Amino acid sequence: MFSRRNRRPKSPELLTAWEALEAGDVPGALRQLRHAPEDLPLAEVALVVGRAAGAAGFDDLGKAAGALAAAPDQAQQLYDFGYACVERGVPYLAIPALREALRLVPGSAAALRELVSAYEREERHREAVDVLAAHEQGLAAWPDRYLLVFNAVLAGDLDLARHHHALLPAPDDDMWLPARDRQNRVLARAENTQAASPLDRTDLRGWQYVLGGTVLGTFSPYGFDAGMTGRYAWLQDSHEQCLRGLLRLKAVLEAAGTRPASVSLLPDRGSRVLGLAAAEILDLPAVAFAPERPDTVVIAYDLNETLEAADGPEVLGGLLHRAPGQVLHEHASCWTDTPAVTPDSVALLHQSVVAPWAPALRADADGGVERGEPDERPEAEIAADIVAADPTPDEGDGETPADSVERLTEFVTAVRGTWLSGERTRLKSAGPVVSSRFR
């Protein structure tokens, strides 16, 4: 009888992961598996995954892995393993098994859809497009052809997306109506954006708008041609950067012809600080956030922090569905862990940020690095420092394309007809413009 206890993987890459598990290092083993080739023997992969699942207490994945290790040529075992990997947040481990399941049973809609789901979660959208297109004759309109359009857009292939979108009939099931409406809005934004922006592989602002309806205010001045394409990796934020973001927001509102009557303050400290500064910059009264309030600019410093606070769930419901004339602006938006609500305006995109009032990293007396103390002054005092800061941009490394306020407002003027429409559905993918990830 098969027993995982009596077996060890033979492949060197998997043996390294196995040894990490023997040392009790499950995250280290998973890192090894992520970077392992995808053509390794699936029985051996399942052996390692099964042991990792057991250590993590994932009984469903452990059971599926054990079954696959015992019968790696069975489509059902391949599918079950892939499904469990996707459900447990390791879709990269699912892809080889699901590809093999689909090869063994080419007409399996379940295997096809689960493979597409794994590709999507890994942001491998071109591969999702390719596998769907290879099975086009058997595609159901909803969800399969819809998913083909969805992934074609995220892969940057608008011509293919439009072609298949034109072939989509109205959905028979009302559950697909919101998805259809979102897709219609995405393609309408693409039509607007192509008149003002190249939508190539470095057009970060253009694609942020197409995919999520977000106007991006500034680019990182460092590493544009070294893998970042306008996004920040780690950022020690400053009052000056906050002011630049708010001045860009003001320019965006003016170019769009949007005339808010107030600035709405979200409940977390960072958002209140920035909101008070925004009220001064925009010359508007600051009021507490109320979901039903129309014609207001809602200011968030970092929406993930806002939504993770004690009253986050209540705020989430009030932001997902936009009140008339409401604009949601986020200063520092995490692109590797996107917020549950997609903002209408963003000052900058980051992977990790330290707010100006948070404990900052600094050099210590011995030449090392330590964290300083938080700025615990009243929110209004910190906001006043933001308003009084110098908004002169950081010159950076000289590689980031010039991006004047005029260039931003020209973009907004071109796309304002499709701005502020629809719900703020979460955008989970970075889209066609890739940046280096450091976590």
| Residue pLDDT tens, the chain, 439 long | 334 445 889 999 999 999 999 999 999 999 999 999 999 999 999 999 999 999 999 999 999 999 999 999 999 999 999 999 999 999 999 999 999 999 999 999 999 999 999 999 999 999 999 999 999 999 999 999 999 999 999 999 999 999 999 999 999 999 999 999 999 999 999 999 998 999 999 999 999 999 999 999 999 999 999 999 999 999 999 999 999 999 999 999 999 999 999 999 999 999 999 999 999 999 999 999 999 999 999 999 999 999 998 889 889 989 999 999 999 999 999 999 999 999 999 999 999 999 999 998 776 666 677 888 999 999 999 999 999 999 999 999 999 999 999 999 999 999 999 999 999 999 999 999 999 998 6
- Ordered by start, the domain boundaries in the chain are 4-185, 200-418
Q: Name 135's Cβ contacts closer than 8 Å, sequence gap at least 6.
A: 106, 112, 144
Pairwise CA distance, residues 414 & 159, whole Å? 21
Write out the H or E segment, with its range, that includes residue 117. Answer: helix 109-121
Pairwise CA distance, residues 216 & 207, whole Å? 10
Pairwise CA distance, residues 297 & 315, whole Å? 15
Write out the H or E segment, with its range, that includes residue 297. Answer: strand 296-300
pLDDT of residue 4: 44
Residues forming a β-bridge with 369: 363
Task: Considering only the C-alpha atoms of the chain, give the largest distance between any 2 of them, rounded to a whole number of Å.
Answer: 76
Pairwise CA distance, residues 322 & 42, whole Å? 47
pLDDT of residue 50: 97
Per DSSP, the three-state class of 430 is coil
144-165 pLDDT, tens digit per residue, is 999 999 999 999 999 999 999 9
Query: Which of 71, 129, 136 minimizes the C-alpha distance to 104?
Result: 71
Q: Name 289's Cβ contacts closer than 8 Å, sequence gap at least 6.
A: 264, 265, 266, 267, 298, 315, 318
Which of 266-285 are b and which e, b meaning 16 or more Cβ less than 10 Å from the residue's Cβ? bebbbbbbbbbbbbbbbebe
366-425 pLDDT, tens digit per residue, is 667 788 899 999 999 999 999 999 999 999 999 999 999 999 999 999 999 999 999 999
pLDDT of residue 370: 80
**Does residue 324 have a cis bond before it (omega within 30 degrees)?**
no
pLDDT of residue 360: 85
DSSP annotation of 418: G
Answer for the pair 51, 19: CB distance below 8 angstroms, yes or no: no
In this structure, what is the dihedral angle of CA atoms 29, 32, 33, 38, given to the nearest 10 degrees?
-160
Q: 4-185: what fold? A: 1.25.40
C-alpha distances (whole Å) from 352 to each of 225, 303, 334, 338, 428 are 20, 13, 7, 12, 17
Q: Where are the beta strands (DSSP E) in 138-285?
A: 215-216, 234-236, 262-265
Pairwise CA distance, residues 375 & 270, whole Å? 11
Q: 200-418: what fold? A: Rossmann fold (3.40.50)
In this structure, what is the dihedral angle of CA atoms 55, 59, 60, 63, given to the nearest 10 degrees?
90
For tokens 């028979």, the residue is: 172
Which of 428-438 are b and which e, b meaning 16 or more Cβ less than 10 Å from the residue's Cβ? ebbbbbebeee
